[in-house]
Amino acid sequence: MLRLLIWRRVRSLRNRISSLTSYERARDTAFGLAGLGLLYGLYCGFLRLLAYLATVPLIGNLLLWKLTSMLMLTTLGMVVISSLLTSLSTLYYSYDLKFLMKAPLDLKIIFIDKSLESIFFSSWMIGLILVPFVLAMMKVNDLGWGFFAAFTALMIPFLLIAASVGVAFTVVVLYLFPSSRTRDVIWVLSSLSMTMVYGLIRFSQPERLIRPDALRVVADYLNFLQSPTAPYLPSWWITKALTSLAAGRPTDFMRYSALLCVAAAILYGALVWLAGRLYFRGYSGAQEGPMRRRLTTIERLPEQGWLSGAPAVLFLRERTAFFRDVKHWSQILLILGLIFVYLFSIQRLPMDSPDLRSLISFLNIGTAGFVIAALGLRFTYPSISLEGKSWWVLAAAPVTAREIMRQKLVFSLIPMTAIALTLGAAANHLLRADAFTSWISLASLLVITWALCFMGVGFGALFPMFTVENIHQIESSVGGFVYMAACLFYIGANITVLSWPMKMHFDERFGKLHAWDWPPVALCAAAWLILNALAFAVPWLLGRRALEAHEVH
């Protein structure tokens, strides 16, 4: 029966590929090549870092493998948390479960099928990020392709162990508390866990790897490099296996590889055994609808001051839906942790020169803009697709696609603007940048934030996905990739254009006479206006037309 379910997925994928039009094939090919380009960029960055670490006398090799162990430990934690979120949707709220539960299939077979789907979706993207790192490690250490084959083989049990832990936690919690309200608890716990992991990684100050002077004596630094990083976790086992293979110790490599594979087999076997006794009760309880004590009726829909009529109803509907769904507002915990760690990192930067502080303040446009883009991928871009199968209600309502998109935009602009102001103003205060740099960086960041919100809603309308099972499929879709690629290009173009007047400003600070050349400044201003006009208008107009032409099935 499991073979039949797997064959169903193969046939579904094959049918989907064969039904692609020529335009869709060309589009997917272009996006695939762009994705390979991003991976190549990561490879170049890792290569520069590892090549620099390898040149450190005596301890260069220790630095490389210590960084590898820390990266594997981080990957382990991220996959565990990601599997918590993914397994909740896949195992208990997937759209095909109603059909599978009625089919003449053993419950364990259904669980294996859905758990493997959960494990794949929660780990493939995180595991893919490690590929450029390993390729750079091979280049620096002059390792052959056998090393890459071993890494690929070991990543399967490693990711299986990490994801199985998250799936097991979800199964046990849903069994002990078989209610749809438990879903809210898991979302909050996972958000808290992710925030804590991110904070602990940053507060551990990994920059000590390249700053041994930060420790009291050299002996402490050497002990730090040589000590195991969580020796009882699979992240250390895979690190030791790869280290042994690179050092030419096949016996140690086989021992740690066998330990990893046996642990994965035992853990997943125990998970399937546990699911045979706990899964159905949790699934049955999760189908119950949550009780609501407060009812929103049409008489309770006040006008929002600057909004009236249909826009006021849409805005109140958006607000109510957001705060009712805990997996949305629980992300506030992650955002608060992200902001705190971001500002902590800025404060820890070793800067003694006022000009260097001002330069970092200007470059903060790019880093803060990337943070806003990432938040937009999580909140703004999926807002249209999250209407799901109920999109037909809005499509049949007496409102236009423009009004729907506008209310999605307004609801996203408010928190995004607050986050941009916090990141920009707080960073300028911590950096003590000069007035000109502070104002231009803050104003540019605000404009970038508004443009990213327009782009998020526009691309979300251009690539709607109303039949997905969870938000992660929306974020990792072709449209999500296009949105992030466009955001990165837009942010980079803004920094490039603004770098000209900033260069003249620094020339003036360094005492250069007639530093300001006004024709290039006018050219920069015109290019900046055109760039932002395109960013605001093009995705919005394309998305509106696509949404108006979308047919409800």
- The structural domain count of the chain equals 2
More confident residue, 267 or 519: 267
Q: What angle is formed at CA 337 by the lines to CA 159 and CA 376, rounded to 5 degrees?
A: 80
Residue found under tokens 């579904």: 12
pLDDT exceeding 90 applies to what percent of the chain?
A: 14
Same domain, 282 and 313: no
Same domain, 241 and 335: no
pLDDT exceeding 70 applies to what percent of the chain?
A: 75
* 118 token code pair: 């959960």
Same domain, 274 and 407: no
Same domain, 76 and 205: yes
For residue 288, what pLDDT is reported?
A: 60
Domain presence at residue 68: yes
For residue 447, what pLDDT is reported?
A: 94
Query: In which band, very low, low, confident or very high, does the pLDDT at 444 lie, cut at 50, 70 and 90?
Result: very high
Domain presence at residue 13: no
For residue 205, what pLDDT is reported?
A: 53
167: three-class secondary structure by DSSP: helix
Same domain, 324 and 175: no
Domain presence at residue 16: no
Q: Is residue 335's pLDDT more than 70?
A: no
For residue 217, what pLDDT is reported?
A: 45
Same domain, 498 and 389: yes
Domain that holds residue 401: 309-553
CA–CA dist 224, 458 (Å, integer): 49
Q: Is residue 203's pLDDT more than 60?
A: no
Same domain, 232 and 315: no
Same domain, 393 and 530: yes
* 130 token code pair: 């490690």
Q: How many CB atoms lie within 10 A of CB 4?
A: 11
For residue 304, what pLDDT is reported?
A: 44
Domain presence at residue 303: no
More confident residue, 495 or 472: 495
User: Over the stretch 168-184, which tens digit does the pLDDT of each residue have?
Assistant: 888 887 777 655 555 55
289: which DSSP letter? Answer: P
User: Over the stretch 118-157, which tens digit does the pLDDT of each residue have?
Assistant: 888 888 878 888 899 999 989 988 888 999 999 999 999 9
Domain presence at residue 292: no
Domain presence at residue 24: no
Same domain, 117 and 233: yes
Q: If you average pLDDT over every residue of the chain, what do you get?
A: 78
Domain presence at residue 363: yes
User: Over the stretch 256-295, which tens digit does the pLDDT of each residue have?
Assistant: 999 999 999 999 999 999 988 888 887 777 666 554 444 4
User: Over the stretch 290-317, which tens digit does the pLDDT of each residue have?
Assistant: 544 444 444 444 444 445 556 666 767 6
More confident residue, 394 or 219: 394
Same domain, 277 and 328: no
For residue 536, what pLDDT is reported?
A: 93
Q: How many CB atoms lie within 10 A of CB 290?
A: 10
Same domain, 277 and 222: yes
CA–CA dist 359, 394 (Å, integer): 48
Same domain, 200 and 71: yes
For residue 531, what pLDDT is reported?
A: 92
Q: Report DSSP letters for 326-389, one per residue.
A: HHHHTHHHHHHHHHHHHHHHHHTS----HHHHHHHHHHHHHHHHHHHHHHHHHTTGGGTGGGGG
- Cβ-contact 131, 47 below 8 angstroms: no
From residue 210, alpha-carbon distances to 53, 140, 341, 344, 410 in Å are 7, 17, 20, 19, 45
Domain presence at residue 544: yes
For residue 337, what pLDDT is reported?
A: 65
